């Protein structure tokens, strides 16, 4: 069961808050902001350079980060906006350091995940699940955490999502990918016997990066 303070928001509001956090750090108003959140409806988020597909039956929102299209509604998401110099400055180094922090959250629960380090991940594939990118996490070869990043001159934004559960049949209908392919490439917390426990552990990890991203309504 998820902590009650994980607020569900509309897709546009979730992305607006994350982008505002990035710009706040870039402008010097804050040094580090993070949040954990959910989505109030089934939707599709696109990387900032992607073109929305035609005739899609789902609401679509653009992320401020890159990467491939990702289904939301069954997942819990997180974001971290911070100064680049505090995390190693170089995008790849930042990406991997955040990935290792997330990996620790899984391993604290006895879930043995791997951090993808090789290049050749998202390169034109429309959907995020097509292939793991460097810095993303896998469990027995299946993606368990999707992560995307954007860097500005001083700041970076990391956005990530982990599926609490996954409706493979419905996802197949929505994406056109076969259930077999989806089951080969994606795994949810439900399938590895984790859920609210993961969220609680991740929150503790992120709390070390204080301050938390302001959320007056949720009290996060």
Query: What's the pLDDT tens digit per position in 100-133?
Result: 999 999 999 999 999 987 654 444 566 777 676 7
Question: What's the mean pLDDT when you consider all of the chain?
Answer: 86
Choose the weakest-confidence range: 22-31, 43-52, 131-140.
131-140
State how far the Cα of 143 lies from the Cα of 213, in Å rounded to an integer.
Answer: 27
Contact (CB, 8 A) for 32 and 63: no
> Residue 2 — pLDDT band, cuts 50, 70, 90?
low
> Residue 219 — pLDDT band, cuts 50, 70, 90?
very low
Could you tell me the maximum CA-CA distance found in the chain, to the nearest angstrom? 47
Assigned fold of 8-207: BirA Bifunctional Protein; domain 2 (3.30.930)
Residue 217 has pLDDT above 50, yes or no: no
Lookup: tokens for 13: 């509001």
State how far the Cα of 109 lies from the Cα of 69, in Å rounded to an integer.
Answer: 28
Pick from 106, 34, 91, 70: which is nearest to 186 by CA?
70
For the chain, the domains span 8-207
Percent of the chain at pLDDT exceeding 90: 63
Mean predicted confidence (pLDDT) in 156-169 = 96
What pLDDT does residue 135 have?
Answer: 73
Residue 220 has pLDDT above 50, yes or no: no
- Is the link from the previous residue into 59 a cis peptide, with omega within 30 of 0? no
């Amino acid at each position: 069961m998820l902590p009650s303070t994980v607020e569900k928001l509309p897709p546009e509001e979730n992305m607006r808050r994350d982008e505002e956090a990035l710009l706040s750090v870039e402008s010097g108003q804050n040094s580090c902001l993070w949040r954990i959140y959910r989505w109030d409806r089934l939707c599709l988020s696109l990387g900032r350079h992607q073109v929305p597909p035609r005739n899609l039956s789902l609401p679509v929102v653009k992320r401020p980060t890159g990467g491939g299209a990702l289904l939301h509604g069954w997942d819990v998401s997180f974001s971290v906006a911070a100064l680049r110099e505090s995390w190693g400055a170089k995008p790849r180094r930042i990406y991997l350091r955040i990935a290792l922090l997330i990996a620790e959250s899984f391993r604290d629960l006895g879930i043995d995940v791997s951090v993808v380090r090789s290049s050749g991940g998202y390169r034109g594939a429309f959907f995020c699940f097509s292939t793991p990118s460097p810095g993303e996490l896998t469990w027995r070869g299946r993606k368990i955490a999707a992560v995307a990043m954007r860097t500005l001159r001083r700041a970076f934004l990391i956005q990530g999502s982990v599926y609490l559960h996954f409706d493979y049949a419905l996802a197949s209908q929505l994406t056109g990918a076969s259930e077999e392919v989806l089951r080969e490439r994606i795994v949810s917390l439900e399938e590895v016997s984790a859920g609210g426990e993961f969220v609680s552990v991740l929150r503790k990890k992120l709390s070390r990066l204080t301050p938390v991203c302001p959320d007056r309504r949720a009290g996060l």
